[in-house]
Amino acid sequence: EISRREGFPTIFVGEKSMKVCQPDEEVRKIFYEFLHVEVLPVATFDEVVDIETYQMTPFFTTDFEPKIKPYLNQCELNRWYPTFVDITAKGNTKAHGIQVILDHLHLSVDDAMAFGDGGNDIPMLLAAGTGIAMGNSDDKVKAAADYVTTSVDDNGIANALQRFGLI
């Protein structure tokens, strides 16, 4: 309701779907030009309200966060880009996902290697046995990592895997 009232775009991510309400030029720039998403289906808020949602991504800057946080006490806000924030249920994080996979495979946290380049990746980098920040990351992400590799656009993952003798 806040997104609708305030007029900012919001993406709703379900198990097998992703839809955007009120898309604007910023949404188009990020998803089509930056992330190279081929199609981002548009929906109305009435169409997404009853869909099981795993993540919402409203497009607002940090100055709006204090206005919305009181409504989200059961949620986590993680930002990896200045103009939007990922909102998930408390505990539904990338760090938790790593632990679930490790438990399922009966592996130790020392066996986990995580790669990240945004602020939303910091908990994951800290949770993995080896956290690797991409060279294009900001200083906070790099500080949370055990190792900083080259940029994502300069074969950062492959370079790190070579550095650690995995390929």
Write down the domain spans for the chain: 2-89, 94-163
Which pTM was predicted?
A: 0.76
Fold of 94-163: Rossmann fold (3.40.50)
CATH entry 3.30.1240.10 includes domain 2-89: yes
- How many C-beta atoms surround the C-beta of residue 122 within 10 A? 22
User: Per residue in 55-67, is it b (16+ CB within 10 Å) or e — as a string?
Assistant: bbbbbbeeeeeee
User: Per residue in 142-156, is it b (16+ CB within 10 Å) or e — as a string?
Assistant: bebbeebbbeeeeeb
Q: What is the pLDDT along the chain (167 residues), one digit of tens a residue?
A: 899 999 999 999 998 889 999 999 999 998 888 888 888 899 999 999 888 999 999 999 999 999 999 999 999 888 888 899 999 899 888 899 999 999 999 999 999 999 999 888 998 999 999 999 999 998 999 999 999 999 988 999 999 999 999 99
Distance between CA atoms of 138 and 100, rounded to whole angstroms? Answer: 28
Distance between CA atoms of 130 and 162, rounded to whole angstroms? Answer: 14
Beta strands at 84-89 and 113-116: parallel, antiparallel or unpaired: unpaired
